[in-house]
Amino acid sequence: MGGGWFNRELKILVLFLTLISFSNLIFGNNTFALFMPTLSASVDQANLQVNGNQVINSTDKTTEIPLNLTVNTNNKTGYTATLNSETDETALVNNDSTTNAKINSISSAGPLGDFSNNTWGYKFGASTSYAPIPALSTPAQILQTAGKTNGNESNQLSIGMKLSDNLESGRYTNKLVFSIITNNYNRIAIMTEGPDFNTKLKSLGAFEHFKKSSTPPATTANAKNIEDEDSDYEIKLWLDPTDKTAYYYAEPEKVYLNTDSSKMFYDMRNFTILNLPNFDTSKVTNMQYMFSDMTKLTTLDLSNFDTSKVTDMKYMFNEMYSLTSLNLSSFNTSNVTDMSCMFAHMFRLTSLNLSNFNTSNVTNMGWVFAFNGSEKIYVNNDFNTSKLTNFSNMFKESKKLRGGNGSYLADPSTADKTWLRVDRPGVHGYFTRKP
């Protein structure tokens, strides 16, 4: 007596997986540190076979087949992966069928339990929703990354299908194509870390100016390399004793400062003017001591500074004795946690405009305005001190400073964080609301 699925004609579903991967090549005239992206990719099951009879005899007549897509690339901007069928035919097709039997792609996204009979789809990662099979003419982007992989990166996909008893026996096939390509990468010049830059700049000897040169040095014998190991271009630094200028040169107009740009110009005591229009600071997280102890500097142009990623600004302008004004209108301090001694010992300042400062993440403001010559500190609102834990000696010896309503302390060092407010009737503070 028959009747079991063993007596049915075999229904086999075969899915061939093809993988195409290639890198965007990067070419340039300068072969220094030429970055060549590498990319490798694989799928753990190149030929998936499903016994349709087993699926039909299961409780819910569905199946999920997991597979892994593994990618390895050193490309700094990551990769993009797309998926499509080999042609615009998205069904699993029974080529021996006289009735054109197919297992069609689902028509809209949804969970496996909502599939119509004799349909299939795919899902990526932890998603619970399956998507229709994409055609050759409309490939689906399944993944886009933004950085190099940490060794082999494994990504899970699943093929899902629902079958019914009326499925014609035979062999159903199609081919899915994975395409993996490295994302476009624009070569950039990246400065060495701040302390290393400082050491190399000081080693040039006596100089009074710092500028970008439009041409490389005539001889490289005495030039120093000041690029980061991840830079795609050389950055040369040298001294021209005739005009007492330290010049730097990089092929691109823009030079990205290192994430660690601490102490870049620390203790450079011969500068009187410093303009940095070609520096891009958008990647910098550490600016501690960046201009500290530049005791003769009278002009500092930071109008192009992007500080949106900076977390550490401690001692940034400490002991800039000769600076009389400081324009910080470009500063974004929303991620800064340490402002200790940031404006300490700036004797010749008469005022500070901090109206764009966001202090919501600052924990340390110890000595932030100590020994500062300012008479007014302008803000838009009270400082956010919700995370502030160190506020010792914030206004120590800043005896010229007055709040907008005239408030001050005989001993400014005793001011606690309640003084980081706009001074107004009934509320003491050392700040003045910006007009």
Q: Do 238 and 203 touch, CB atoms closer than 8 A? A: no
- CATH code given to domain 5-182: 2.60.40
State pLDDT tens for residues 302-312.
999 999 999 99
What is the distance between the alpha carbons of residues 374 and 325, in angstroms, rounded to a whole number?
A: 10
What pLDDT was estimated at residue 176? 92
In the predicted model, what is the mean pLDDT of the chain?
A: 92
What pLDDT was estimated at residue 219? 86
Answer whether residue 1 shows pLDDT above 50: no
What is the distance between the alpha carbons of residues 317 and 126, in angstroms, rounded to a whole number?
A: 49
Answer whether residue 420 shows pLDDT above 50: yes
What is the distance between the alpha carbons of residues 365 and 314, in angstroms, rounded to a whole number?
A: 9
What pLDDT was estimated at residue 19? 56
What pLDDT was estimated at residue 191? 99
Alpha-helical runs (H) found in 283-418: none
DSSP string, 166-218: TPPSEEEEEEEEEEEEEPP----EEBPPHHHHHHHHHTT-S--EEEE-SS--S
What is the distance between the alpha carbons of residues 432 and 201, in angstroms, rounded to a whole number?
A: 40
Which residues have CB under 8 Å from 114's CB, separation 6+?
none
Alpha-helical runs (H) found in 252-394: none
Binning pLDDT at 50, 70 and 90, where does residue 2 land? very low
Which of residues 392 and 29 earns the better pLDDT score?
A: 392
What is the distance between the alpha carbons of residues 29 and 35, in angstroms, rounded to a whole number?
A: 13
For the chain, what's the residue count? 435
Token output for 136: 């050759």
What is the distance between the alpha carbons of residues 65 and 51, in angstroms, rounded to a whole number?
A: 12
What pLDDT was estimated at residue 220? 82
What's the one-letter identity of residue 1? M
Answer whether residue 34 shows pLDDT above 90: no
Q: Smallest Cα–Cα separation from 41: which of 144, 124, 155?
A: 155
Work out the end-to-end distance of the chain between its first and last CA atoms, rounded to an integer number of angstroms.
97
Answer whether residue 394 shows pLDDT above 70: yes
What pLDDT was estimated at residue 375? 98
Nearest 5°: phi and psi at 60? Answer: -105, 5
H or E segment to which residue 52 belongs: helix 52-56
Answer whether residue 321 shows pLDDT above 90: yes
Q: Do 310 and 287 touch, CB atoms closer than 8 A? A: yes
Token output for 224: 């120093």
If you average pLDDT over residues 158-166, what whole number do you get? Answer: 95
The residue written with tokens 């998926």 in the block is 83
Answer whether residue 5 shows pLDDT above 60: no
